[in-house]
Amino acid sequence: MHEDEHEPWRACPSERWRASTAAMAEDNPEAPASTSSTWGGRFEEPMDAVALRYSASVDVDKRLAEQDIEGSIAHVTMLAKVGVVTGDEAATIRAGLEKVRETIRAGKMAWSDEREDVHMNVESALTEDVGDVGGKLHTGRSRNDQVATDMRLWTREACKRTAARIDRLMGILALRAEGTVDVLLPGYTHLQRAQPVRLAHHLLAWAEMLERDRGRLLDAAKRMNESPLGCAALASTTFPLDREMTAKALGFDRPMRNSLDAVGDRDFLVEAVGALACAAVHLSRIAEELVLWSTQEFGFVVMSDAFTTGSSIMPQKKNPDMAELARGKTGRVIGDLVNLLVTLKGLPLAYNRDLQEDKAPVFDAFDTVDDTLDVLSGAIAAAAFQPEKMKAALREGFLDATELADWLAARGVPFRDAHHVVGHLVAKAHASQRTLGELTLDELKAEHDAFDESAFDALDMETAVERRDLPGGPAKGRVGAAIAELRERVGGRGIDLTALANDTRSEP
């Protein structure tokens, strides 16, 4: 009963408001019509059409259907064990849930906005099938613990899937490194040619970055592996639920310790998406090097046609679009992380509807990073590195200056003085457009009398690399061992490198 006339403080009588939003909804044929309330006895009026559309999440959260059904099966099985429902009732509900699962897998589910989210869509489909007994499934449960459980289950598996994709890319890097151990190229600091390194060493650096991303994802998966189920709306429930049983059935390590926390926090998603954001940043840096290396100015790599595009106006162009997009899409993933953090900031305990907004950024971050991993895996497997261009780049830029300074330092000259002496020699060579090796012994001696003929031996790039024979260094033996270790590491995680070598068309 509404008494709008006697309630002048009521801003807009609900009937009038409804009429106006209904008129607006006519402009939007996709907007669902408002219907009688789903919310039971407390509600007299149907939900407003705009409010319904605004709050419905099923379009996004239907991706949780498998987890939702798995959670419900665990819950109802436990309800029977503790005697809240009978064994027969549980069996009927389980069979019904399995039927709903089949319908969804077959793509035949009639998802409806009016049922708001995945949880209520599944439950309604169940009740339509099995009748009133379906209503017993939700005993001792709330959508608050249900959705928190679903998200933990979904994200736990997603972390593992993404980690496996990272392993695959690491496997590809191991294979590419194996084929490029003898290729030298300039290593850079400040994007200035600095010292020579092996291409394989550079590729292995990428693999190390990815190794940590993988670790972060799996750490997150481990920490999130606790069960919110049984915490109900916020304060658990009066039913004698066996939370250990449902936790175990769903592969969780234990039930969460505090019901308010269990339904109220999404830090586990922040951790997962944080790990993804870091992975995306690493992939972006790798992509940036591919873009740079495929310029005419560098020419260190020719990307395969399969991962490049042409220009609609300039016939000569071959653009590294996939690498550029990998770099560009990183913004989305960082945005997803910020989105989650801002959503959580300022939320009081326990559940708040704001939390519904967690799903889109989480799904987007996983989808984007998974696709980026696949695209870069393909592009790197098929890229043609250009050893001659790399070698040519080593000839200019005085990458051997440190060798000469080290040569002096090894003969007792304080390194600071040696640095100064070689600086002069670089200036002299630069002024006369020569390399250090093209200076005469007299010119060397003019700067420091410790120089003798053997100093020129230090100016060979291969020697320079080979003398860097420390753990983590670019000497051939070290790089070979690092490749073998990486092969073993990813092999132990189920990456079949022989098969990978066969299905990736790697050029030289």
What is the binding site for ligand ARG (CB under 6 A)?
57, 61, 117, 143-144, 147, 351, 353, 355-356
Instruction: Give the CA distances from residue 176 to residues 183, 199, 450, 507, in Å, rounded to whole numbers and listed in that order.
Output: 11, 9, 43, 9
Q: Which two tokens stand for residue 312?
A: 């609609």
Closest CB to ligand ARG among 57 and 180? 57
Q: How far is the CB of 198 from ligand ARG (least distance, A)?
A: 50
Q: How far is the CB of 353 from ligand ARG (least distance, A)?
A: 6
Cα–Cα distance, 137 to 140 (Å, whole number): 9
Beta strands at 301-302 and 184-189: parallel, antiparallel or unpaired: unpaired
List the Cα angle 493/152/372 in 5-degree steps.
55
Closest CB to ligand ARG among 117 and 403? 117
List the Cα angle 122/127/130 in 5-degree steps.
120
CB atoms within 10 A of CB 455: 21
Closest CB to ligand ARG among 257 and 353? 353
Helices (H), 112-193: 118-130, 143-178
Strand stretches in 232-382, DSSP E: 254-255, 301-302
Q: Check 14, 20, 36, 311 and give the catalytic one.
A: 311
Closest CB to ligand ARG among 200 and 355? 355
Query: Helix (H, G, I), strand (E, B), or coil: what is residue 225?
Result: coil
Q: How far is the CB of 399 from ligand ARG (least distance, A)?
A: 56
Which H or E element spans position 385? Answer: strand 384-385
CB contact at 8 A, 246 and 240:
no
Cα–Cα distance, 73 to 68 (Å, whole number): 9
**Residue 190 catalytic?**
yes
Centroid of chain to Cα 396: 39
Q: How far is the CB of 35 from ligand ARG (least distance, A)?
A: 18
Closest CB to ligand ARG among 100 and 373? 100
Q: Measuring CA to CA, which residue among 473, 459, 468, 457 is closest to residue 403? A: 459
**């696709």: which residue's tokens?**
371
Q: How far is the CB of 151 from ligand ARG (least distance, A)?
A: 8
Instruction: Give the CA distances from residue 59 to residues 50, 144, 424, in Å, rounded to whole numbers and listed in that order.
Output: 16, 18, 68
Closest CB to ligand ARG among 117 and 178? 117
Q: How far is the CB of 61 from ligand ARG (least distance, A)?
A: 6
Closest CB to ligand ARG among 181 and 347? 347
Q: How far is the CB of 244 from ligand ARG (least distance, A)?
A: 24
Centroid of chain to Cα 5: 56
Contacts of 156 (CB under 8 A, 6+ apart): 221, 224, 225, 251
Phi then psi for 195, rounded to 5 degrees? -145, 150
CB contact at 8 A, 400 and 464:
yes
What number of CA atoms fall less than 13 Å from residue 50's CA on the CB side?
12
**Residue 282 catalytic?**
no
Cα–Cα distance, 371 to 279 (Å, whole number): 12
Q: Which two tokens stand for residue 404?
A: 């000469």
Residue 381's identity, in one-letter code, is A
Query: Helix (H, G, I), strand (E, B), or coil: what is residue 461?
Result: helix
**């639920």: which residue's tokens?**
241
Q: How far is the CB of 355 from ligand ARG (least distance, A)?
A: 5
Closest CB to ligand ARG among 123 and 167? 123
Q: How far is the CB of 136 from ligand ARG (least distance, A)?
A: 20
Centroid of chain to Cα 47: 38
Closest CB to ligand ARG among 147 and 170? 147
Closest CB to ligand ARG among 34 and 386? 34
Rounded to 10 deg, the angle between the 65-81 and 118-130 helix axes is 60
User: Which residues make beta-bridge pairs with 319?
Assistant: 309
Q: How far is the CB of 59 from ligand ARG (least distance, A)?
A: 12
Q: Check 6, 190, 312, 454 and give the catalytic one.
A: 190
Q: Which residues are catalytic?
A: 190, 311
